[in-house]
Structure 1
Amino acid sequence: MVIDAAGNPVIKRIIEQLHPQLHRILYRKFSGLLGGEETIKHHDELIGVCEQRDAEAAAAMSGEHWSRLGDLISGLFDSNELDG
């Protein structure tokens, strides 16, 4: 697992705590926004750079993905769409 490879127990604990909530939100609200095929493509590319041991590219790709997801979540909070 990528999180284990990072060797950061704090990040691992945070991700483990947030993972169920993130997936619930992702499935309920973002399937149309992120696009399933786009998300799968991104994860395939991320796995590829991890296999190549390109830590800088993996970090950049992960950062971009999490930032985009964060922006979408913030937009949902702003619009009160998380209630339904």
Structure 2
Amino acid sequence: MAKGNDNDRYVVPNKDRGGWDVKKEDAKRVSSHEPTKKAAEKRAKEIVENTGGGRGEVRSQKLNGQWGDSDSGSKNESPAKDRKH
């Protein structure tokens, strides 16, 4: 996983049971398991807002292992519009 702060959450595919996991860096357990990437990203944003006060990032991994989208929590938002890859 990319090095981030303690409030960041990562959305990664779960190859063993399918679906998508929401993880905190270096955590032994997942924060949430969701059936779709969209649902996992939504849950990750909720966790960042609730636990980090909106000061974290949500980073999503693609099925091929590359890191894709990143979305800032509400306290990290810059006035510039996010550019999704």
Higher share of residues assigned helix: 1
Q: Which has the larger radius of gyration?
A: 1
Same fold (TM over 0.5): no
TM-score in terms of structure 1 length: 0.28
TM-score (normalised: structure 2): 0.28
